Amino acid sequence: MMRSKYRSIAPGLVLLSCLGCGRHPGVNRSESAVLRPEDEMRFEVLYQQNCAGCHGANGKNGAAMDLANPEYQSLVDDASLTRWISKGMPQTQMPAFAISAGGILTEKQIEVLVQGMRRHWAENVAEAQVLRPSYAESEIGDATRGRELFQTSCASCHKASKQEIASPDYLALVSDQALRSMIVAGRPDIGQPDWRNDRPGAPLSDQDVSDIVRYLASLRTATPGQPYPEHREGAE
């Protein structure tokens, strides 16, 4: 009689032991669960996994644009940030991250990235809004005038080989928009001044920036890294 009683409660004990598998005292199951990639909505995690490699661990000191620069955050609008993250930036190494464009991020995750940048790195620079050059080109640039402006406003820093921004090979990897953003917003993480301080006492105008960008664009090579010899007629 006693044995049959034990046999009747044994299945219940086994069930209870199974229900407790994987649990540890003091650990909340929701906290220990591993998120699916598309469910990750923390800005810090999304930024470190997808952006820090090029833009720096804290939005600066990376190879690409200084995203933590308040001047840049004030210059670029949400629609542009969303577009570059989603579809990539043409003429640069910036890839597309949106699932719809072959990437790995959902629209909501991209929204979290944009909002996180604003929350962490945008500051009030409204005093410069009126005179500051526009984000996108509004005036067609003049390469000849741009060359003169580059010599007077930029060359003193960029003549050094490690900052040789006029190198055709470097320019082949950077779009006109990226050049414009860096000239207007500067890169304080590497000591590059913004549009107000390139020429102390004489801020760059919208036309000035367009001219410098047009000049730099004229220096690009179609064969970065290897200047192929000119084709000679009859040569194989």
Considering only 4-13, 57-66, 190-199, 205-214, which range has the smallest mean pLDDT?
4-13
* 134-217 matches 37-127 in CATH topology: yes
What's the whole-model pTM score?
0.73
Q: Do 59 and 144 touch, CB atoms closer than 8 A?
A: no
> What does the pLDDT read at residue 123?
80
Cα separations in angstroms, 68 against 51, 56, 123: 12, 9, 10
Class of domain 134-217: mainly alpha
Nearest to 146 by CA among 198, 72, 75, 98: 198
Q: Give the DSSP per-residue string, 49-66.
A: HHTHHHH-TTSSSSSS--
15, pLDDT greater than 90:
no
CATH topology of domain 37-127: Cytochrome Bc1 Complex; Chain D, domain 2 (1.10.760)
Buried b (16+ CB within 10 A) or exposed e, 198-215: beeeebbebbbbbbbbbb
Query: Is the C-alpha dihedral spanning 147, 132, 220, 214 positive or negative?
Result: negative
In the chain, where the domains are located: 37-127, 134-217
Q: Do 175 and 92 touch, CB atoms closer than 8 A?
A: yes
Q: Do 216 and 179 touch, CB atoms closer than 8 A?
A: yes
